[in-house]
Structure 1
């Protein structure tokens, strides 16, 4: 018997609901232990070559595609990444150009881009803000 949900999910996104469940548990019971659990789940998905959805901005004069950044009230800039297409569309408003990226490559890139403070996973709902320190912890 096949599960309809996974048959319509891109292979790289399968099992990302584990990340969503870990984030939900952290939101319901914020603690160092639950944060460690969420980071461990994320690390496992990364090591299993899991993927996230990222939004890109249309190229400007230099024809370079850039990952869409979100600026928080404190002025910090974050790349937005989504565990599923359902999470991505919760942002409502604008239609975004998106593509799948390897979790590890995304994290490595975030660490190398000075003007980015980190990655926000699922910025509209089951949100996890990973600053560069937390990204380094996930990468081990």
Structure 2
């Protein structure tokens, strides 16, 4: 797939560049810059790619009845045992580390962040867990959302 064709992902390379700068020099200023770039993309109705878990057999029936409302985002567990949702700025990032084929879909950045804030047992969102990684806990998500 050509990223240029997907309007919702256009501009996300700015997020990757901001994360790269932060990785090279982890300062408060560069973190603030990265959060600002994410906020800007969110306000431009930008999108991320998220991975979803395939429904289990018992959920299959509910999914057919509710057409997609039973989708569960795939969570990754960090070494401290906390669970995070992962999101990707582009298809290249998504393909870098996945050993398996994932079911993915595009989601609105703001919608994902708001869902995360209300999700129990989820710490936040890890952007690009394989490479240009930025861990956005609920505190940082509130900052991005301007709350």
Paired residues, what number?
A: 136
Q: Provide the rounded CA distance (Å) in 1 between the counterparts of 2:111 and 2:3.
A: 25
The yes-or-no answer on 1:36 pairing with 2:32 is yes
Counterpart for residue 45 of structure 2: 49
Q: Which contiguous aligned blocks of 4+ residues in structure 1 show a shift greater than 3 angstroms?
A: 5-9
Counterpart for residue 134 of structure 1: 140
The yes-or-no answer on 1:107 pairing with 2:104 is no
Q: Provide the rounded CA distance (Å) in 1 between the counterparts of 2:2 and 2:99.
A: 26
Q: For 1:2-45, what per-residue CA distance to the aligned partner results, in whole angstroms no more than 9, with x for missing partners?
A: xxx97744100000000000000000010000000000000000
Give the alignment's TM-score, normalised by structure 1. 0.93
User: Secondary structure in 2 aligned to 1:126?
Assistant: coil
User: Secondary structure in 2 aligned to 1:90?
Assistant: helix
- The structure that is helix-richer by fraction is 2
Give the alignment's TM-score, normalised by structure 2. 0.89
Q: Which runs of 5+ in 2 are unaligned?
A: 61-69
Q: Which runs of 5+ in 1 are unaligned?
A: none
The yes-or-no answer on 1:13 pairing with 2:9 is yes
